[in-house]
Amino acid sequence: MGGAAVDTGNSGVKAPDGGWGWAVLFGCFVITGFSYAFPKAVSVFFKELIREFGVGYSDCAWISSILLAMLYGSGPLCSILVNRFGCRPVMMVGGLFASLGMIMASFATSIIHIYLCIGVVTGLGLSLNFQPSLIMLNRYFSEKRPLANGLAAAGSPVALCCLSPLGQILQYNYGWRGGFLILGGILLNCCACGALMRPLKAPKKTTEVDEKETKLKPKAKLLDFSVFKDCGFVIYTVAAAIMVLGLFVPPVFVVSYAKELGNEDTKSALLLTILGFIDIFARPTCGIIAGLKWVRPRCVYLFSFAMLFNGVTDLVGSMSKDYSSLVVFCIFFGISYGMVGALQFEVLMAIVGTEKFSSAIGLVLLVEAIAVLVGPPGAGRLLDATKNYMYVFLLAGCEVVLSALVLVICNLLFIKMKPQEPDPPAKMEMAITETEMEQLNKSPKDDQDNGGCASENGKKKAAEPEAMTKSDVKELDSIELENASKPVTEPNGVAVEPESCL
């Protein structure tokens, strides 16, 4: 790796909560935008792809589904690469893969080629950017982490607001092939974002405590499966997998729903822009709320409420019959979707901690990948069978509501509230403080033992300072008596015998 510093999560460096962390946050903002907005933005080209290759909508829905499946499913591979080589090189290679996939897709001659290029290659590239960016964000922020997660998650709606209209413009002016080629060039910005992920360097070890901890610390695992022993992690993983079945369905189908109601293509694509605009403000706001002292320990219940809100919005939105009702649906969906996006990884970070987060996120994304492969294609097949978008939105809403109920009920039944453990740097500082206190308390205790004030059977610690004080008083009295008996020499040289005041 040319001597590059590998950013292991166990370096014992305290999160700076600022400084270069804001540059890392900006890079994570851009990467999150590309990762989540691309599967939705590609849906703008579905109508042209159906006409080009003579396939159904469910076939085109597999493009977004495979892309998301690769984004999630390659999580364990990404965790291993990050733990082996560090975040920065993995992200820069991932940026090249993401761009290459879109460029190759512009030369596709069948829908299978689109699956392989956009779904597999671009999906893998985005995965190699998305997961390391979250890991670095977790390392750079601790106290301000909920806010940082909310701001980084806002990259998704910002990119969606830009990429959706941009996709329409590119399709109109250059066709779907030219659009894919230009989007591939835009994805090269992932490499620049990867360059911002500077690893945190640990300070030089100067104390014996640090040296002993370094020797006793076991070698970091490339993929830590011990997170499955945590009941909270298991509950989160199951609930997240159910949620993903329906979470991404409405954004994929809402544009086609509007077109089905007789609206123009540009007007229909505007719905995603409205959804994204609301989402922009919902995510940072939710991050601020999650960072409040009385909310942060109960963040999992706020996450459950966000999922319940999202699911109920889908159920009500299934009754939409005109463009105005779809606009109202997109507003409320944007709020709930933003809350889920801002909280999902913050809750995971709070459950597993900094040291195990790189492995935990990879394993969670792998489980979610299975749900992603089933969700949108299953909804597309339901649409082909019923020819009615209402059933698609009803199914998505039921799945998200079920995930919220699983999360909140299982947490109430199986998880007990416990105080959050301090981060590893905080633990190290506490250990050093305790050692210093022991050394400070050691000298009085030794003096006490040498003075013979402590009894052989061992008295209570509260009596020891008292005994020591009596001994010191006796010694001081004898010294004063001896000094008082000595003659005092006046300034004129005459020695005067002191008066006895005893």
Structure confidence at residue 279 (pLDDT): 87
Tell which residue, 313, 368, 19, 341, has the closest CA to residue 153.
341
Give the gyration radius of the chain's Cα atoms: 32
- pLDDT (0 to 100) of residue 469: 47
pTM: 0.69
Distance in angstroms (rounded) separating the CA atoms of residues 66 and 62? 6
- Rounded to whole angstroms, how far apart are CA atoms 202 and 424? 12
Rounded to 5 degrees, φ, ψ at 86 are 100, 165
What whole-number distance in Å separates Cα of residue 118 and Cα of residue 62?
11
Tell the residue number behind the tokens 């009803």, with chain if given.
394
What CA dihedral angle connects 440, 441, 444 and 447, to 10 degrees? -90
Question: Which residue is it, tokens 């499946």?
Answer: 69
CA dist 356 and 364 (Å) reads 12
Q: What is the pLDDT at residue 396? A: 92
204 Cβ neighbours under 8 A, 6+ residues apart: none
CA distance 387 to 496: 120
Tens digit of pLDDT per residue, the chain (502 long)? 333 333 445 556 777 888 888 999 999 999 998 988 887 778 788 888 988 888 887 788 788 878 878 888 888 888 889 888 888 999 999 999 999 999 999 999 899 999 999 999 999 999 999 989 988 998 898 888 888 988 998 888 888 778 878 888 888 899 899 999 999 999 999 999 999 998 887 666 544 555 555 555 566 677 778 888 889 899 999 999 999 888 888 887 888 888 888 888 788 878 877 888 898 899 999 989 988 888 888 889 999 999 999 999 999 988 888 899 999 999 999 999 999 988 988 898 888 887 888 888 888 888 888 887 788 778 888 888 888 888 999 999 999 999 999 999 998 888 765 444 444 444 444 444 455 455 545 544 444 444 444 444 444 444 444 444 444 544 545 555 455 555 555 444 445 454 444 3
- Residue 204 is predicted with a pLDDT of 63
- Whole-angstrom Cα distance, residue 331 to residue 431? 50
CA atoms within 13 A on the CB side of 430: 7
Tell me what pLDDT residue 417 has: 52
- For the beta carbon of residue 34, count every other beta carbon within 10 angstroms: 26
Residue 12 to residue 164: CA distance in whole angstroms: 42
Contact 301, 282 (CB under 8 A): no
Residue 425, helix vs strand vs coil:
helix
| Sequence-ordered alpha helix ranges (H) in 141-154 | 145-153
Which residues, including other chains, have CB under 8 Å from residue 181's CB and lie 6 or more apart?
102, 103, 106, 174
Q: Determine the pLDDT at residue 491.
A: 46
Q: Which domains does the chain have, with CATH numbers?
A: 21-199+224-420 (1.20.1250.20)
